[in-house]
Amino acid sequence: MGVSLQGKTVLITGASAGIGAATALCFAQQGCRLLLCSRRLEVLRQQEADLRNAGAPAVFSFELNVRVRDDVQGVLGTLPSDWQEIDVLVNNAGLSRGLTKLWEDNVDDWEEVIDTNVKGLLYVTRAVVPGMVQRKRGHVINLGSIAGHMAYANGAVYCATKAAERFLSDGLRIDLNGTAVRVTSIDPGMVETGFSKVRFHGDEERAAKTYANVDPLQAEDIADAIVWAATRPAHVSIQSVVLTPTAQANPFVITRRT
């Protein structure tokens, strides 16, 4: 039996689409107050009415690029007073760019992926967690990947960023031991979102082949795992959750319908 999250304040990065948007809806259904950020403020604003109708007592949306350190510090440091006590942080903002041999890869893509998946996660965590420690409560939920457990061809840099997320989660959990603040890493396999379209720089045909003849996870499946972890009793710490489609055993072994 999970504990109630009614009235808790949840901050979700990258909340305008995919897993972030699905997670916002799932927390809204739990009666949570939602702090939502993304680079696309207009999309967040369009979602607010549906989230309130789903059960969120309040929604506060703001624009934020987690890659920009000064913006993260400035924006999160000056939230309205009634939004400053964050109970759950979902570090969801992340992406991949390209699928190319490391020695032929685009260095600009590396910069974007590393700055978002690693440094962005660090910037937001550094801004939010001190308040959790001071209040002696809180939960940090980071979005990892099975790519952080096992590298695959042409994805070395993305895999490295998700391995970094995994170890940052472990290290933060150790550093927070004794504070009652929990840390969880949610590590999905293949999820059908806009991820592949972003990876292939908008090439929808190439992106569609990623999910061809297989039943991938959906954003709602990941959101469900996130909220499940957040609703465990205070003495239970879900350190990590690895979930894949039934058709996927690991990054290399996927059975597709013929």
Q: What is the largest CA-CA distance in the chain?
A: 56
Q: How far apart are CA 86 and CA 135, in angstroms?
A: 10
DSSP letter string, 5-20: -TT-EEEEESTTSHHH
What's the number of CA atoms in the CB half-sphere (13 Å) around residue 85? 9
Please say if 211 is a catalytic residue.
no
Which residue, 217, 180, 194, is CA-closest to 87? 180
3-state SS track over 206-258: HHHHHCCCCCCEEHHHHHHHHHHHHCCCCCCCCCEEEECCCCECCCCCECCCC
- Please identify which of the residues 123, 152, 158, 211 carries the catalytic annotation: 158
Collapse the DSSP code of 39 into the 3-class scheme (helix H, G, I; strand E, B; otherwise coil) and give the result. Answer: coil
Distance between CA atoms of residues 230 and 233, nearest Å: 9
Per-position DSSP letters for 158-170, written without gaps between them: HHHHHHHHHHHHH
Active site residues: 158
